[in-house]
């Protein structure tokens, strides 16, 4: 899996700091910027994120490209509706030589990997047959599996990104999207450390949201993600 932060809002900590200061200031931009202590922006933003004043970080966004991920993953990813997505099209891009993702559980189960690969090869052959007989790609793609490799660009504002991490870094999240979220968080922290300082699953900043389905590892998760 390849994941890269390809763009983010310039001055991505200054912008929400100005927005936050505006909420508590009688003056406008000039007064705010003259008094804004850049050395204290980080502490100010950490405080606002901690108390839940998250509307101010909606003013900045982060764009990633992910490659080597499955259609199974992207079906989950696009459920995050406060985001923008651009995905490689199976309607226009031929998939005669499609790659596919193999879960570790299949790799580790005796005999499963051989069967898995055989099915993928059969799908590939049948897909090629349909294309050669004149079936358009947009119809031949109905054969393609959830495992088929795809590429996608996703853009989220910082608030939605925090929510995404909250859900998808949970131990109960599906393994592939959890891996994606982990790679995204590492890169977000590098460019915006104060906003994403304590980003992670729900149990990092509060109580576990999984109820009786909890993994029971909240203390371990806090140790892993805090700071």
CA angle 161, 60, 27 (to 5 degrees): 135
Instruction: Report the SS3 class of residue 35.
Output: helix
Q: What gap in Å lies between CA 85 and CA 165, rounded to an integer?
A: 17
Statement: residue 227 has pLDDT above 70: no
The predicted-structure confidence for 174-189, as pLDDT tens digits, reads as follows 999 999 999 999 999 9
Tokens of 40: 């204290």
The predicted-structure confidence for 158-175, as pLDDT tens digits, reads as follows 999 999 999 999 999 999
Reported as a pLDDT band with limits 50, 70 and 90, residue 207 is: confident
Question: Which of 66-75, 151-160, 195-204 shows the lowest mean pLDDT across its residues?
Answer: 195-204
Taking the model in full, what pTM does it have? 0.93
Contact 160, 80 (CB under 8 A): yes
Contact 6, 153 (CB under 8 A): yes
Tell me what the mean pLDDT of segment 204-225 comes to.
88
Tokens of 177: 């999207």
Q: What gap in Å lies between CA 53 and CA 66, rounded to an integer?
A: 30
Taking Cα atoms as reference points, which of 192, 183, 180, 178 lies closest to residue 61?
Answer: 192
Query: Residue 64 to residues 48, 86, 153: CA-CA distances in angstroms?
Result: 25, 11, 6
The predicted-structure confidence for 36-93, as pLDDT tens digits, reads as follows 888 889 999 999 998 999 999 999 999 999 999 999 999 999 999 999 999 999 999 9
The predicted-structure confidence for 104-133, as pLDDT tens digits, reads as follows 999 999 999 999 999 999 999 999 999 999
The residues assigned a catalytic role are: 168
What pLDDT does residue 27 have? 84
What pLDDT does residue 39 have? 83
Q: What gap in Å lies between CA 227 and CA 225, rounded to an integer?
A: 6
What pLDDT does residue 68 have? 98
- Domains of the chain: which residue ranges? 2-84+150-201, 101-147
Statement: residue 26 has pLDDT above 90: no
What's the N-to-C CA distance of the chain in angstroms?
Answer: 25
Q: What gap in Å lies between CA 218 and CA 201, rounded to an integer?
A: 9
CA angle 28, 188, 55 (to 5 degrees): 35
What pLDDT does residue 114 have? 97
Reported as a pLDDT band with limits 50, 70 and 90, residue 223 is: confident
Architecture of domain 2-84+150-201: 2-Layer Sandwich (3.30)
The predicted-structure confidence for 77-89, as pLDDT tens digits, reads as follows 999 999 999 999 9
């Amino acid at each position: 899996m390849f994941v890269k932060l390809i763009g983010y809002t310039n001055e991505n900590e200054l912008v929400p700091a100005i927005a936050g200061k505006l909420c508590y200031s009688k003056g406008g931009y000039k007064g705010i910027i003259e008094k804004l202590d850049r050395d204290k922006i980080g502490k100010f933003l950490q405080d606002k994120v901690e108390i839940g004043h998250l509307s101010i970080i909606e003013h900045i966004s982060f764009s990633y490209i992910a490659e080597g991920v499955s259609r199974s993953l992207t079906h989950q990813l696009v459920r995050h509706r406060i985001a923008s997505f651009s995905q490689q099209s199976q309607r226009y891009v031929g998939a005669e030589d499609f790659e596919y993702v193999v879960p570790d559980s299949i790799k580790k189960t005796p005999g499963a990997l051989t069967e898995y690969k055989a099915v993928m090869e059969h799908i590939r052959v049948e897909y090629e047959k349909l294309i050669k007989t004149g079936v358009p790609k947009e119809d031949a793609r109905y054969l393609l599996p959830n495992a088929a490799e795809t590429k996608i660009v996703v853009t989220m504002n910082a608030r939605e990104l925090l929510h995404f991490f909250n859900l998808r870094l949970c131990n109960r999240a599906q393994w592939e999207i959890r891996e994606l979220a982990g790679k995204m968080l590492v890169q977000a922290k590098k460019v915006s450390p104060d906003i994403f300082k304590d980003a992670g699953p729900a149990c990092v900043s509060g109580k576990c949201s999984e109820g009786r389905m909890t993994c029971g590892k909240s203390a371990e998760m806090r140790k892993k993600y805090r700071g």
